[in-house]
Structure 1
Protein backbone atom coordinates (compact mmCIF):
# COMPACT_ATOMS: atom_id res chain seq x y z
CA UNK A 1 0.00 0.00 0.00
CA UNK A 2 1.45 3.41 -0.95
CA UNK A 3 2.51 5.43 2.06
CA UNK A 4 1.29 8.92 2.85
CA UNK A 5 2.80 11.78 0.88
CA UNK A 6 3.73 14.47 3.48
CA UNK A 7 3.31 17.19 0.88
CA UNK A 8 -0.42 16.44 0.68
CA UNK A 9 -1.28 16.75 4.41
CA UNK A 10 -4.86 17.86 4.79
CA UNK A 11 -5.80 17.40 1.12
CA UNK A 12 -7.32 13.98 1.52
CA UNK A 13 -10.69 13.36 3.13
CA UNK A 14 -12.38 10.62 5.06
CA UNK A 15 -14.68 8.60 2.85
CA UNK A 16 -18.32 9.45 2.89
CA UNK A 17 -20.61 12.34 2.20
CA UNK A 18 -20.74 15.76 3.81
CA UNK A 19 -22.75 14.24 6.65
CA UNK A 20 -19.73 12.15 7.62
CA UNK A 21 -17.58 15.27 7.62
CA UNK A 22 -20.07 17.05 9.85
CA UNK A 23 -20.12 14.08 12.23
CA UNK A 24 -16.33 14.22 12.55
CA UNK A 25 -16.46 17.91 13.41
CA UNK A 26 -19.24 17.57 15.98
CA UNK A 27 -18.17 17.40 19.62
CA UNK A 28 -14.39 17.58 19.82
CA UNK A 29 -14.24 16.80 23.52
CA UNK A 30 -12.95 20.21 24.62
CA UNK A 31 -14.12 22.64 27.27
CA UNK A 32 -14.87 26.29 26.60
CA UNK A 33 -11.19 27.20 27.05
CA UNK A 34 -9.94 24.64 24.53
CA UNK A 35 -8.68 22.08 27.05
CA UNK A 36 -9.59 18.40 26.85
CA UNK A 37 -12.72 17.87 28.92
CA UNK A 38 -12.83 14.94 31.29
CA UNK A 39 -14.82 12.18 29.68
CA UNK A 40 -17.16 10.02 31.68
CA UNK A 41 -18.97 10.50 34.98
CA UNK A 42 -20.71 8.36 37.56
CA UNK A 43 -23.97 9.80 36.31
CA UNK A 44 -23.42 8.09 32.96
CA UNK A 45 -23.00 4.59 34.43
CA UNK A 46 -25.84 2.49 33.07
CA UNK A 47 -28.32 0.91 35.47
CA UNK A 48 -27.15 -2.67 34.72
CA UNK A 49 -23.64 -1.73 35.86
CA UNK A 50 -24.50 0.32 38.96
CA UNK A 51 -24.45 -2.60 41.47
CA UNK A 52 -21.12 -3.74 40.07
CA UNK A 53 -19.59 -0.29 40.41
CA UNK A 54 -20.78 0.04 44.02
CA UNK A 55 -19.40 -3.40 44.86
CA UNK A 56 -16.10 -2.65 43.14
CA UNK A 57 -15.69 0.50 45.24
CA UNK A 58 -16.19 -1.46 48.45
CA UNK A 59 -13.99 -4.39 47.42
CA UNK A 60 -11.11 -2.10 46.50
CA UNK A 61 -11.36 -0.35 49.87
CA UNK A 62 -11.48 -3.69 51.68
CA UNK A 63 -8.50 -5.01 49.72
CA UNK A 64 -6.11 -2.13 50.26
CA UNK A 65 -7.42 -0.47 53.43
CA UNK A 66 -5.37 2.57 54.50
CA UNK A 67 -2.97 2.01 51.60
CA UNK A 68 -5.69 3.15 49.19
CA UNK A 69 -5.32 6.71 47.96
CA UNK A 70 -8.02 6.76 45.28
CA UNK A 71 -9.79 4.61 42.72
CA UNK A 72 -11.14 5.52 39.28
CA UNK A 73 -13.30 4.07 36.53
CA UNK A 74 -12.31 4.46 32.91
CA UNK A 75 -13.47 3.09 29.58
CA UNK A 76 -16.99 2.39 28.37
CA UNK A 77 -18.69 2.02 31.77
CA UNK A 78 -18.25 5.66 32.92
CA UNK A 79 -18.74 6.91 29.35
CA UNK A 80 -22.18 5.27 29.31
CA UNK A 81 -21.42 3.19 26.22
CA UNK A 82 -20.89 -0.20 27.90
CA UNK A 83 -22.89 -3.15 26.58
CA UNK A 84 -24.15 -5.70 29.15
CA UNK A 85 -22.37 -9.00 28.77
CA UNK A 86 -19.96 -7.61 26.18
CA UNK A 87 -17.99 -4.82 27.85
CA UNK A 88 -15.35 -5.11 30.53
CA UNK A 89 -14.85 -3.14 33.73
CA UNK A 90 -11.74 -0.96 33.85
CA UNK A 91 -10.36 0.38 37.14
CA UNK A 92 -7.31 2.42 38.04
CA UNK A 93 -6.14 2.22 41.65
CA UNK A 94 -3.70 4.67 43.23
CA UNK A 95 -1.94 3.57 46.41
CA UNK A 96 -0.02 5.36 49.11
CA UNK A 97 3.53 3.98 49.24
CA UNK A 98 4.20 1.60 52.11
CA UNK A 99 6.94 3.86 53.44
CA UNK A 100 10.63 4.58 52.84
CA UNK A 101 12.31 1.83 50.85
CA UNK A 102 15.97 1.18 51.76
CA UNK A 103 18.24 2.02 48.86
CA UNK A 104 15.38 3.43 46.79
CA UNK A 105 16.03 6.55 44.75
CA UNK A 106 13.60 9.06 46.26
CA UNK A 107 13.35 10.94 42.97
CA UNK A 108 11.57 7.94 41.45
CA UNK A 109 8.22 7.09 43.05
CA UNK A 110 8.03 3.60 44.52
CA UNK A 111 5.98 1.01 42.64
CA UNK A 112 3.29 -1.26 44.08
CA UNK A 113 4.65 -4.52 45.48
CA UNK A 114 4.18 -7.96 43.97
CA UNK A 115 1.65 -8.64 46.73
CA UNK A 116 -0.25 -5.47 45.75
CA UNK A 117 -0.38 -6.61 42.13
CA UNK A 118 -1.46 -10.14 43.06
CA UNK A 119 -4.28 -8.66 45.11
CA UNK A 120 -5.38 -6.54 42.14
CA UNK A 121 -5.36 -9.58 39.86
CA UNK A 122 -7.43 -11.57 42.34
CA UNK A 123 -9.84 -8.66 42.76
CA UNK A 124 -10.38 -8.35 39.01
CA UNK A 125 -10.98 -12.08 38.67
CA UNK A 126 -13.47 -12.04 41.55
CA UNK A 127 -15.45 -9.15 40.09
CA UNK A 128 -15.57 -10.83 36.70
CA UNK A 129 -16.77 -14.08 38.24
CA UNK A 130 -19.44 -12.32 40.30
CA UNK A 131 -21.11 -10.30 37.53
CA UNK A 132 -22.42 -11.58 34.21
CA UNK A 133 -22.93 -7.98 33.07
CA UNK A 134 -19.20 -7.70 32.26
CA UNK A 135 -16.87 -9.78 30.13
CA UNK A 136 -13.69 -9.33 32.15
CA UNK A 137 -12.27 -6.81 34.60
CA UNK A 138 -8.93 -5.04 34.23
CA UNK A 139 -7.13 -3.13 36.97
CA UNK A 140 -4.25 -0.68 36.57
CA UNK A 141 -2.26 -0.23 39.78
CA UNK A 142 0.16 2.62 40.56
CA UNK A 143 1.30 4.72 43.45
CA UNK A 144 -0.13 8.21 43.69
CA UNK A 145 3.41 9.54 43.59
CA UNK A 146 4.06 8.05 40.18
CA UNK A 147 0.80 9.38 38.77
CA UNK A 148 1.77 12.88 39.92
CA UNK A 149 5.43 12.65 38.91
CA UNK A 150 6.96 14.94 36.31
CA UNK A 151 7.83 12.10 33.97
CA UNK A 152 4.18 11.00 33.88
CA UNK A 153 2.71 14.50 33.60
CA UNK A 154 1.67 14.07 29.96
CA UNK A 155 1.05 10.33 30.05
CA UNK A 156 -0.44 8.70 33.14
CA UNK A 157 -1.18 12.10 34.65
CA UNK A 158 -3.15 13.10 31.57
CA UNK A 159 -4.87 9.71 31.61
CA UNK A 160 -6.09 10.25 35.18
CA UNK A 161 -7.09 13.88 34.63
CA UNK A 162 -8.95 13.39 31.35
CA UNK A 163 -9.94 9.74 30.90
CA UNK A 164 -10.61 8.53 34.45
CA UNK A 165 -13.74 9.08 36.55
CA UNK A 166 -13.20 9.36 40.33
CA UNK A 167 -14.91 6.58 42.26
CA UNK A 168 -13.41 6.94 45.75
CA UNK A 169 -10.73 8.98 47.53
CA UNK A 170 -8.99 12.25 46.66
CA UNK A 171 -9.18 13.09 42.97
CA UNK A 172 -5.61 13.47 41.71
CA UNK A 173 -6.85 15.57 38.80
CA UNK A 174 -7.03 18.53 41.17
CA UNK A 175 -3.23 18.40 41.42
CA UNK A 176 -2.61 18.03 37.69
CA UNK A 177 -2.68 20.61 34.88
CA UNK A 178 -5.26 20.92 32.15
CA UNK A 179 -4.29 19.52 28.77
CA UNK A 180 -4.60 20.65 25.18
CA UNK A 181 -4.65 18.28 22.18
CA UNK A 182 -1.19 19.37 21.04
CA UNK A 183 2.00 17.76 19.76
CA UNK A 184 3.53 17.54 23.24
CA UNK A 185 0.61 15.45 24.46
CA UNK A 186 0.76 13.32 21.32
CA UNK A 187 4.47 12.64 21.80
CA UNK A 188 4.28 11.78 25.48
CA UNK A 189 1.22 9.53 25.26
CA UNK A 190 2.03 7.37 22.25
CA UNK A 191 5.50 8.30 21.06
CA UNK A 192 7.08 4.92 21.83
CA UNK A 193 5.32 2.54 19.46
CA UNK A 194 8.59 1.51 17.85
CA UNK A 195 9.73 -0.01 21.16
CA UNK A 196 6.69 -2.28 21.28
CA UNK A 197 7.16 -3.80 17.85
CA UNK A 198 9.97 -6.28 18.67
CA UNK A 199 7.82 -7.64 21.52
CA UNK A 200 4.84 -7.93 19.20
CA UNK A 201 6.93 -9.98 16.76
CA UNK A 202 8.09 -12.31 19.53
CA UNK A 203 4.52 -12.71 20.74
CA UNK A 204 3.32 -13.43 17.20
CA UNK A 205 5.92 -16.15 16.76
CA UNK A 206 4.84 -17.83 19.99
CA UNK A 207 1.07 -17.44 19.53
CA UNK A 208 -0.01 -20.90 18.39
CA UNK A 209 -3.32 -20.90 20.25
CA UNK A 210 -6.27 -19.22 18.46
CA UNK A 211 -7.48 -17.68 21.72
CA UNK A 212 -4.08 -16.07 22.25
CA UNK A 213 -4.02 -14.76 18.68
CA UNK A 214 -7.48 -13.24 19.22
CA UNK A 215 -6.31 -11.55 22.42
CA UNK A 216 -3.23 -10.15 20.69
CA UNK A 217 -5.17 -8.94 17.65
CA UNK A 218 -7.51 -6.94 19.86
CA UNK A 219 -4.71 -5.46 21.96
CA UNK A 220 -2.59 -4.51 18.93
CA UNK A 221 -5.57 -3.05 17.06
CA UNK A 222 -6.62 -0.89 19.99
CA UNK A 223 -3.13 0.47 20.43
CA UNK A 224 -2.64 1.14 16.73
CA UNK A 225 -5.95 2.97 16.31
CA UNK A 226 -5.36 5.09 19.38
CA UNK A 227 -1.83 5.88 18.23
CA UNK A 228 -3.05 6.71 14.73
CA UNK A 229 -5.60 9.10 16.21
CA UNK A 230 -3.10 10.91 18.44
CA UNK A 231 -0.82 11.21 15.41
CA UNK A 232 -3.41 13.53 13.84
CA UNK A 233 -5.00 14.82 17.06
CA UNK A 234 -3.16 18.21 16.99
CA UNK A 235 -4.28 18.84 13.41
CA UNK A 236 -7.87 17.81 14.10
CA UNK A 237 -7.86 19.82 17.33
CA UNK A 238 -9.83 17.64 19.71
CA UNK A 239 -10.14 14.37 21.61
CA UNK A 240 -12.23 11.22 21.24
CA UNK A 241 -11.97 7.72 22.71
CA UNK A 242 -14.29 6.25 20.07
CA UNK A 243 -12.18 3.91 17.95
CA UNK A 244 -14.37 3.99 14.83
CA UNK A 245 -14.45 7.77 14.91
CA UNK A 246 -10.69 7.83 15.53
CA UNK A 247 -10.13 5.76 12.39
CA UNK A 248 -12.30 8.08 10.31
CA UNK A 249 -10.51 11.17 11.61
CA UNK A 250 -7.16 9.59 10.82
CA UNK A 251 -8.35 8.68 7.31
CA UNK A 252 -9.05 12.35 6.60
CA UNK A 253 -5.32 13.05 6.79
CA UNK A 254 -3.94 9.70 5.59
CA UNK A 255 -6.45 8.33 3.07
CA UNK A 256 -3.90 5.81 1.77
CA UNK A 257 -3.96 4.10 5.18
CA UNK A 258 -7.60 4.80 5.96
CA UNK A 259 -9.04 1.39 5.10
CA UNK A 260 -6.31 -0.29 7.12
CA UNK A 261 -7.24 1.76 10.19
CA UNK A 262 -10.95 1.15 9.70
CA UNK A 263 -10.23 -2.59 9.60
CA UNK A 264 -8.13 -2.30 12.76
CA UNK A 265 -10.98 -0.50 14.54
CA UNK A 266 -13.24 -3.42 13.61
CA UNK A 267 -10.70 -5.92 14.99
CA UNK A 268 -10.52 -3.91 18.21
CA UNK A 269 -14.23 -4.63 18.66
CA UNK A 270 -14.33 -8.17 17.24
CA UNK A 271 -10.89 -9.83 17.45
CA UNK A 272 -9.59 -12.23 14.82
CA UNK A 273 -7.30 -15.27 14.88
CA UNK A 274 -5.64 -14.86 11.47
CA UNK A 275 -1.81 -14.82 11.90
CA UNK A 276 -1.56 -12.62 8.80
CA UNK A 277 -3.37 -9.81 10.64
CA UNK A 278 -0.89 -10.00 13.52
CA UNK A 279 1.99 -9.91 11.04
CA UNK A 280 0.47 -6.93 9.24
CA UNK A 281 0.30 -4.98 12.50
CA UNK A 282 3.84 -5.81 13.58
CA UNK A 283 5.58 -5.61 10.20
CA UNK A 284 3.64 -3.09 8.09
CA UNK A 285 1.17 -0.78 9.81
CA UNK A 286 3.09 -0.61 13.09
CA UNK A 287 6.50 0.32 11.62
CA UNK A 288 4.97 2.88 9.25
CA UNK A 289 2.97 4.49 12.05
CA UNK A 290 5.98 4.56 14.39
CA UNK A 291 8.14 6.26 11.77
CA UNK A 292 5.49 8.83 10.90
CA UNK A 293 4.89 9.52 14.58
CA UNK A 294 8.57 10.21 15.16
CA UNK A 295 8.69 12.43 12.07
CA UNK A 296 5.82 14.60 13.26
CA UNK A 297 6.09 14.56 17.06
CA UNK A 298 9.44 13.06 18.05
CA UNK A 299 10.11 10.28 20.53
CA UNK A 300 8.61 10.02 23.97
CA UNK A 301 10.81 11.55 26.66
CA UNK A 302 10.39 8.62 29.07
CA UNK A 303 9.66 5.57 26.92
CA UNK A 304 8.37 2.38 28.44
CA UNK A 305 11.01 -0.24 28.99
Structure 2
Protein backbone atom coordinates (compact mmCIF):
# COMPACT_ATOMS: atom_id res chain seq x y z
CA UNK A 1 0.00 0.00 0.00
CA UNK A 2 1.32 3.46 -0.89
CA UNK A 3 2.20 5.70 2.06
CA UNK A 4 1.83 8.83 -0.12
CA UNK A 5 5.00 10.26 1.41
CA UNK A 6 3.68 10.09 4.97
CA UNK A 7 4.91 8.70 8.26
CA UNK A 8 2.69 6.17 10.07
CA UNK A 9 1.22 9.02 12.15
CA UNK A 10 0.09 10.90 9.04
CA UNK A 11 2.81 13.56 9.08
CA UNK A 12 4.89 14.23 5.97
CA UNK A 13 8.04 12.11 5.89
CA UNK A 14 11.43 13.58 5.13
CA UNK A 15 11.90 12.68 1.50
CA UNK A 16 15.69 12.47 1.20
CA UNK A 17 18.64 10.85 2.96
CA UNK A 18 22.38 10.57 2.40
CA UNK A 19 21.89 6.81 2.14
CA UNK A 20 19.75 7.38 -0.96
CA UNK A 21 22.37 9.36 -2.86
CA UNK A 22 23.23 7.33 -5.99
CA UNK A 23 26.79 5.98 -5.94
CA UNK A 24 27.68 8.00 -9.03
CA UNK A 25 26.87 11.23 -7.21
CA UNK A 26 28.69 10.41 -3.96
CA UNK A 27 31.92 12.18 -5.10
CA UNK A 28 29.91 15.30 -5.95
CA UNK A 29 28.31 15.35 -2.50
CA UNK A 30 31.70 14.76 -0.84
CA UNK A 31 33.21 17.63 -2.82
CA UNK A 32 30.34 19.94 -1.86
CA UNK A 33 30.72 19.05 1.81
CA UNK A 34 34.45 19.73 1.69
CA UNK A 35 34.07 23.02 -0.22
CA UNK A 36 31.38 24.29 2.16
CA UNK A 37 33.65 23.48 5.08
CA UNK A 38 36.54 25.36 3.50
CA UNK A 39 34.57 28.46 2.53
CA UNK A 40 31.89 28.86 5.21
CA UNK A 41 33.11 26.93 8.24
CA UNK A 42 33.72 28.89 11.42
CA UNK A 43 31.49 31.69 12.70
CA UNK A 44 29.32 31.90 9.57
CA UNK A 45 27.89 28.42 9.00
CA UNK A 46 25.28 26.85 11.26
CA UNK A 47 24.37 23.90 9.01
CA UNK A 48 24.21 22.76 5.39
CA UNK A 49 21.61 20.66 3.55
CA UNK A 50 21.08 18.84 0.27
CA UNK A 51 17.72 18.86 -1.45
CA UNK A 52 16.29 17.81 -4.80
CA UNK A 53 16.76 14.66 -6.83
CA UNK A 54 20.24 13.72 -5.55
CA UNK A 55 19.23 12.99 -1.91
CA UNK A 56 15.93 11.53 -3.15
CA UNK A 57 17.93 8.99 -5.15
CA UNK A 58 16.37 9.89 -8.51
CA UNK A 59 19.16 11.99 -10.03
CA UNK A 60 20.12 11.38 -13.67
CA UNK A 61 23.81 11.88 -14.56
CA UNK A 62 24.41 14.84 -16.83
CA UNK A 63 20.84 16.11 -16.39
CA UNK A 64 20.25 16.86 -12.73
CA UNK A 65 21.72 19.74 -10.78
CA UNK A 66 23.15 19.92 -7.26
CA UNK A 67 20.91 21.84 -4.86
CA UNK A 68 22.20 23.09 -1.51
CA UNK A 69 20.90 25.21 1.35
CA UNK A 70 23.30 26.89 3.77
CA UNK A 71 21.87 28.08 7.07
CA UNK A 72 24.04 30.90 8.43
CA UNK A 73 24.20 32.17 11.98
CA UNK A 74 23.50 35.69 10.70
CA UNK A 75 21.50 36.91 7.72
CA UNK A 76 23.44 36.51 4.43
CA UNK A 77 25.65 39.41 3.38
CA UNK A 78 26.84 40.46 -0.06
CA UNK A 79 30.15 38.73 0.70
CA UNK A 80 28.33 35.51 1.63
CA UNK A 81 26.41 35.58 -1.66
CA UNK A 82 29.58 36.21 -3.64
CA UNK A 83 31.27 33.25 -1.95
CA UNK A 84 28.24 31.07 -2.71
CA UNK A 85 28.30 32.06 -6.41
CA UNK A 86 32.01 31.27 -6.61
CA UNK A 87 31.34 27.89 -4.99
CA UNK A 88 28.54 27.17 -7.47
CA UNK A 89 30.87 27.87 -10.40
CA UNK A 90 33.73 25.83 -8.96
CA UNK A 91 31.60 22.75 -8.22
CA UNK A 92 29.85 22.93 -11.59
CA UNK A 93 33.14 23.20 -13.50
CA UNK A 94 34.73 20.29 -11.68
CA UNK A 95 31.88 17.77 -12.02
CA UNK A 96 30.51 16.91 -15.45
CA UNK A 97 27.95 14.64 -13.80
CA UNK A 98 25.82 17.63 -12.72
CA UNK A 99 24.10 20.21 -14.87
CA UNK A 100 24.57 23.25 -12.65
CA UNK A 101 24.71 24.05 -8.94
CA UNK A 102 22.27 26.13 -6.93
CA UNK A 103 23.02 27.35 -3.40
CA UNK A 104 20.37 28.98 -1.23
CA UNK A 105 21.48 31.09 1.72
CA UNK A 106 19.36 31.97 4.73
CA UNK A 107 19.82 33.08 8.31
CA UNK A 108 18.91 30.70 11.11
CA UNK A 109 16.66 33.30 12.70
CA UNK A 110 14.60 33.53 9.51
CA UNK A 111 14.40 29.75 9.10
CA UNK A 112 13.17 29.38 12.68
CA UNK A 113 10.75 32.31 12.60
CA UNK A 114 7.00 31.89 13.08
CA UNK A 115 6.38 33.58 9.72
CA UNK A 116 8.44 30.94 7.92
CA UNK A 117 7.18 27.96 9.94
CA UNK A 118 5.06 26.53 7.12
CA UNK A 119 7.37 27.60 4.29
CA UNK A 120 11.11 27.55 4.98
CA UNK A 121 10.54 25.52 8.13
CA UNK A 122 8.64 22.87 6.19
CA UNK A 123 11.33 22.96 3.49
CA UNK A 124 14.05 22.20 6.04
CA UNK A 125 12.10 19.57 7.94
CA UNK A 126 10.71 17.60 5.02
CA UNK A 127 12.53 18.44 1.79
CA UNK A 128 16.13 18.93 2.96
CA UNK A 129 18.75 16.33 3.94
CA UNK A 130 21.35 17.29 6.59
CA UNK A 131 24.88 17.48 5.24
CA UNK A 132 26.84 19.46 7.84
CA UNK A 133 26.14 20.79 11.32
CA UNK A 134 23.17 20.45 13.69
CA UNK A 135 19.85 19.69 12.03
CA UNK A 136 17.35 22.55 12.33
CA UNK A 137 14.53 20.05 11.82
CA UNK A 138 15.08 18.86 15.39
CA UNK A 139 13.47 22.12 16.58
CA UNK A 140 10.64 22.17 14.07
CA UNK A 141 7.20 20.53 14.32
CA UNK A 142 5.84 17.70 12.24
CA UNK A 143 3.87 18.82 9.20
CA UNK A 144 0.68 17.47 7.66
CA UNK A 145 -0.77 18.03 4.16
CA UNK A 146 -3.11 20.82 5.22
CA UNK A 147 -4.58 23.89 3.56
CA UNK A 148 -2.37 26.04 5.79
CA UNK A 149 0.72 24.31 4.43
CA UNK A 150 -0.58 24.74 0.88
CA UNK A 151 -1.19 28.45 1.39
CA UNK A 152 2.15 29.22 2.98
CA UNK A 153 4.26 27.24 0.50
CA UNK A 154 2.72 28.27 -2.82
CA UNK A 155 0.02 30.85 -2.16
CA UNK A 156 1.95 33.65 -3.85
CA UNK A 157 1.88 32.57 -7.50
CA UNK A 158 -0.01 35.74 -8.50
CA UNK A 159 2.98 37.81 -7.32
CA UNK A 160 5.42 35.77 -9.40
CA UNK A 161 3.59 35.84 -12.74
CA UNK A 162 4.40 39.51 -13.60
CA UNK A 163 8.11 38.87 -13.02
CA UNK A 164 8.00 35.83 -15.27
CA UNK A 165 6.32 37.85 -18.01
CA UNK A 166 9.06 40.47 -17.79
CA UNK A 167 11.79 37.84 -17.91
CA UNK A 168 10.13 36.17 -20.91
CA UNK A 169 9.94 39.48 -22.76
CA UNK A 170 13.60 40.24 -22.00
CA UNK A 171 14.97 36.78 -22.82
CA UNK A 172 17.22 37.11 -25.86
CA UNK A 173 18.60 33.60 -26.26
CA UNK A 174 17.31 30.04 -26.25
CA UNK A 175 19.44 29.36 -23.17
CA UNK A 176 17.68 32.15 -21.27
CA UNK A 177 14.25 30.97 -22.39
CA UNK A 178 15.05 27.38 -21.40
CA UNK A 179 16.26 28.45 -17.95
CA UNK A 180 13.05 30.41 -17.42
CA UNK A 181 10.89 27.56 -18.75
CA UNK A 182 12.48 25.13 -16.29
CA UNK A 183 11.77 27.46 -13.37
CA UNK A 184 8.23 28.18 -14.51
CA UNK A 185 7.38 24.55 -15.23
CA UNK A 186 8.57 23.31 -11.87
CA UNK A 187 6.86 26.08 -9.91
CA UNK A 188 3.58 25.62 -11.79
CA UNK A 189 3.60 21.87 -11.08
CA UNK A 190 4.44 22.36 -7.40
CA UNK A 191 1.62 24.89 -7.11
CA UNK A 192 -0.81 22.63 -8.95
CA UNK A 193 0.06 19.74 -6.68
CA UNK A 194 -0.23 21.67 -3.42
CA UNK A 195 -3.59 23.02 -4.61
CA UNK A 196 -4.97 19.47 -4.36
CA UNK A 197 -2.57 18.14 -1.71
CA UNK A 198 -5.02 18.34 1.23
CA UNK A 199 -7.66 16.46 -0.74
CA UNK A 200 -5.18 13.83 -1.91
CA UNK A 201 -3.78 13.54 1.60
CA UNK A 202 -0.08 13.10 0.96
CA UNK A 203 3.16 14.58 -0.36
CA UNK A 204 5.37 14.08 -3.41
CA UNK A 205 8.10 16.11 -5.11
CA UNK A 206 8.06 14.01 -8.27
CA UNK A 207 6.96 16.22 -11.17
CA UNK A 208 5.12 13.53 -13.09
CA UNK A 209 3.29 12.20 -10.04
CA UNK A 210 2.43 15.76 -8.99
CA UNK A 211 0.91 16.48 -12.40
CA UNK A 212 -0.97 13.18 -12.38
CA UNK A 213 -2.44 13.82 -8.91
CA UNK A 214 -3.49 17.33 -9.95
CA UNK A 215 -5.19 15.94 -13.05
CA UNK A 216 -7.43 13.69 -10.95
CA UNK A 217 -9.17 16.78 -9.57
CA UNK A 218 -8.91 19.18 -12.52
CA UNK A 219 -9.44 17.05 -15.62
CA UNK A 220 -9.81 20.02 -17.95
CA UNK A 221 -6.35 21.32 -17.00
CA UNK A 222 -4.58 17.96 -16.79
CA UNK A 223 -2.88 18.19 -20.21
CA UNK A 224 -1.57 21.69 -19.51
CA UNK A 225 -0.10 20.46 -16.22
CA UNK A 226 1.54 17.53 -18.00
CA UNK A 227 3.19 20.08 -20.32
CA UNK A 228 4.44 21.99 -17.28
CA UNK A 229 5.94 18.79 -15.84
CA UNK A 230 7.63 17.96 -19.15
CA UNK A 231 9.09 21.47 -19.37
CA UNK A 232 10.28 21.25 -15.77
CA UNK A 233 12.27 18.14 -16.70
CA UNK A 234 13.35 19.05 -20.24
CA UNK A 235 13.08 22.82 -20.77
CA UNK A 236 11.79 24.20 -24.06
CA UNK A 237 12.87 27.47 -25.69
CA UNK A 238 9.55 27.73 -27.55
CA UNK A 239 7.90 31.08 -26.62
CA UNK A 240 4.50 29.45 -27.16
CA UNK A 241 5.19 27.00 -24.33
CA UNK A 242 6.14 29.82 -21.99
CA UNK A 243 3.00 31.66 -23.06
CA UNK A 244 0.86 28.63 -22.26
CA UNK A 245 2.26 28.39 -18.74
CA UNK A 246 2.57 32.08 -17.87
CA UNK A 247 -0.47 33.56 -19.61
CA UNK A 248 -3.00 30.72 -19.66
CA UNK A 249 -2.40 28.12 -16.97
CA UNK A 250 -0.66 30.44 -14.49
CA UNK A 251 -3.42 33.07 -14.04
CA UNK A 252 -6.12 30.41 -13.71
CA UNK A 253 -4.03 28.49 -11.18
CA UNK A 254 -3.30 31.60 -9.11
CA UNK A 255 -7.00 32.52 -8.97
CA UNK A 256 -8.09 28.99 -8.10
CA UNK A 257 -5.40 28.74 -5.42
CA UNK A 258 -6.60 31.95 -3.78
CA UNK A 259 -10.19 30.76 -3.90
CA UNK A 260 -9.34 27.40 -2.30
CA UNK A 261 -6.53 28.23 0.15
CA UNK A 262 -6.20 32.01 0.34
CA UNK A 263 -2.99 33.99 -0.19
CA UNK A 264 0.37 33.54 1.47
CA UNK A 265 0.97 35.79 4.47
CA UNK A 266 3.09 38.84 3.52
CA UNK A 267 6.77 38.63 4.38
CA UNK A 268 8.83 41.55 5.75
Band of TM-score, shorter chain: over 0.9
**2:219 equivalent in structure 1:** 255
**2:52 equivalent in structure 1:** 75
Question: What do residues 243-286 of structure 1 show as CA deviations (whole Å, max 9, x unaligned)?
Answer: 00000000000000000001111111111111111122221111
Alpha-carbon deviation of 1:26?
2.6
Q: Look up the SS of the partner of 1:150 in the other structure.
A: coil
Segments of 4+ moved more than 3 angstroms:
none
Aligned counterparts of 2:163 and 2:77: Cα–Cα separation in 1: 24
Q: Are 2:116 and 1:139 aligned?
A: no
Alpha-carbon deviation of 1:302?
2.5
**1:30 equivalent in structure 2:** 6
**2:86 equivalent in structure 1:** 122
Question: What do residues 112-146 of structure 1 show as CA deviations (whole Å, max 9, x unaligned)?
Answer: 00110010011011001111111111101111111
- Which of residues 65, 69, 82 is equivalent to 1:88? 65
The structure with more radius of gyration: 1
Q: Are 2:140 and 1:163 aligned?
A: no
**1:8 equivalent in structure 2:** none
- Which of residues 124, 147, 157 is equivalent to 1:193? 157
- Which of residues 31, 37, 43 is equivalent to 1:55? 31
Greater RCO (Cα-Cα under 8 Å, separation 6 or more)? 1
Aligned counterparts of 1:51 and 1:200: Cα–Cα separation in 2: 35
**2:228 equivalent in structure 1:** 264
Q: Which runs of 5+ in 1 are unaligned?
A: 1-24, 98-110
Aligned counterparts of 2:139 and 2:256: Cα–Cα separation in 1: 33
Q: Which runs of 5+ in 2 are unaligned?
A: none
- Which of residues 165, 177, 201 is equivalent to 1:237? 201
Aligned counterparts of 1:201 and 1:127: Cα–Cα separation in 2: 31
Aligned counterparts of 1:254 and 1:170: Cα–Cα separation in 2: 41
**1:20 equivalent in structure 2:** none
